[in-house]
Structure 1
Amino acid sequence: MKQNIFVSKPNGLTDSQEQFWKKLEGELTSRNLEVRSIGYSDYSIKTPLQQVREVMRECEGAIILGFRQKQIQTGVDRNENKISDLYLPTAWNNLEAGMAYMLNLPMIIIVETGVAKEGIFDAESSDRYIMESNLAPSWIEGDEFLQPLNEWREVLFDSRSQKTT
């Protein structure tokens, strides 16, 4: 029986992000995991937040993909420190990660190299392991990714066993 997993990712992807996502999706599918994502597998007339909540309640784990979505070429932060070439992920990553956290779903967090280490992607604020990738599809074939993925898959399997006993 397949296990539902929620994937937090933007719907608009660059070519390299799309290649990475397709490779990742193949790895997930090969492990009998069903990808659930708003605007990808699930559509509704409900508000996105309502839909995320409903879909996520049907999932046993979550993957947060922090892909580059916006670039700040030059700017300042609240302390008037200069910022340059800062990439931001979709704000939905933090909303969806927070919801997954509140549902106690096991999470994998992957952030694209160069994305700001804020919110769920800040290792000092998170109690989850954060993997960083340059989005080369070959990264998904390496131990740096496959070992944590397989460990996470076992946690999903164990949590399903505990729910059925």
Structure 2
Amino acid sequence: MSGKDVFLSVGGTANDRQEAFVTALEQRLRAEGLVPNTVGRNTFSSDAPLTTVERLMSACSGTIVVALERTYFPQGVQKRGGDKEQAMGETRLATPWNQIEAAMSYSRGLPLLVLVQEGIREEGLLEPGYDWYVHAVPLDVSALNSQAFNGILASWKEKLKPPGDQAVPAQDTAPLTPETLTIGQIIGAMRPAQLWSILAACGGVIAVAFALGAQLIG
């Protein structure tokens, strides 16, 4: 049975609870007549990951981002070495790919639904207040049958559009500057190699900052 293709942004699962949650979500989407597509989970290619993501999104009608715990720090330091330095307690981070794929989807005009595991640090495109809905959920399969989730999913489904109707950002005659660009426009305009460089740099900075912070506090 065929259905509408949708892009499912989710990292590799780390444990049985995460796998059960993602599997249940995939089953729910299929029951709704949707076909979930995830690079590295059910879609594979010899091309660079970002190239594969871009090609896959072009055939999808919408995107669901599932932000699960990828990295955990018992303690750390924020803005270390400055007058705004701040100690941090337990911190849980999702995969950076959630941020990248959410931005790419937004730049294409794809309807976006963001599910964030309770306890995950909500920052960047995972925090509420943008042009899409961010729903915090417990890592429990039953959450996918709640009244709140049913309503959110139904509302998102109504916004799905044929792949050929993806929005192309209008060309503005006014000069563009970093101050006037949105996050989605900036990331959407980057080449795959540039996004890879930023991803690697951000991952390195986060790992080093928390490792050093943990040593200072410990």
Instruction: Tell me the TM-score normalised to structure 2 length.
Output: 0.70
Q: Which residue of 2 aligns with 1:153?
A: 157
Is 1:22 matched with 2:23? yes
Q: Where do 5+ consecutive residues of structure 2 fail to align?
A: 166-218
Query: Identity, % of aligned pairs?
Result: 28
Give the count of matched residue pairs. 160
Question: Equivalents in 2 of 1:59, 1:35: separation in Å?
Answer: 9
Which structure has greater strand proportion?
1
Report what 2:187 is aligned to.
none
Q: Deviations over 1:109-162 (max 9, x none)?
A: 0000110010111114x2211100112111111111011101111221xx23x9
Q: Distance between the aligned counterparts of 1:13 and 1:32, measured in 2? A: 28
Mapping for residues 59-74 of structure 1, pairs under 5 Å: 59-74=60-75
1:72, 1:83 within 8 Å by CA — same for their partners in 2? no
- Within a 5 Å distance, the mapping from 1:1-165 to structure 2 comes to 1-78=2-79, 79-124=84-129, 126-156=130-160, 159-160=161-162, 163=165
Cα-to-partner distance string for 1:2-27 (whole Å, 9 max, x where unaligned): 11100110123321111111111111
Q: Partner of 2:14: helix, strand, or coil?
A: coil
Query: C-alpha displacement at 1:104, in angstroms?
Result: 0.5
Q: Distance in 1 between matches of 2:127 and 2:86?
A: 19
Runs of 4 or more, structure 1, over 2 Å off, are none
| Structure 1 gap ranges (5+) | none
Larger Rg: 2
Secondary structure of the corresponding residue to residue 152 of structure 2: helix
Q: Distance in 2 between matches of 1:134 and 1:31?
A: 22
Task: Specify the SS of the correspondent of 1:110.
Answer: strand
